[in-house]
Amino acid sequence: MCDKTIICRCEDLTAEEIREWIARGYSGFEEIKRVSRIGMGACQGRTCRRHLLNELARAGGISPAEIDLSTFRPPTKPINFAAIAGVDQDAKNS
């Protein structure tokens, strides 16, 4: 893969940038995710996860299946206490 290839479109990270993090000693998916934000964009890693696993495997001389994946959390949306309590805001305001 060319150094200028975009691995994570959401966070605009190239293969070169990921390889630099690996060269600095970051060897796990979670570590690189925390320092680079790879996999934290709108797609939640659907497009970049495989590429990062392949880069880590290549650098470590192991199979991608041997690499522990990161914790994946669904995107969240703030809600108010009335919604939690089940209060109908429309009826309350009438």
CATH of the domain at 20: 1.10.10
Q: Using alpha carbons, select from 41, 7, 40, 43 the residue that is nearest to residue 22.
A: 7
Mean of per-residue pLDDT scores for the chain: 85
Residue 82 lies inside a defined structural domain of this protein: no
pLDDT over 80 (residue 52):
yes
For residue 55, give the DSSP letter. H
Q: Which domain holds residue 54?
A: 6-72
Work out the pLDDT band at 75, boundaries 50, 70, 90.
low
**Does 88 reside within a domain?**
no
Is residue 29 one of the residues assigned to a domain?
yes
Is residue 81 domain-resident? no
pLDDT at 32 over 70: yes
Share of the chain above pLDDT 70, in %: 85
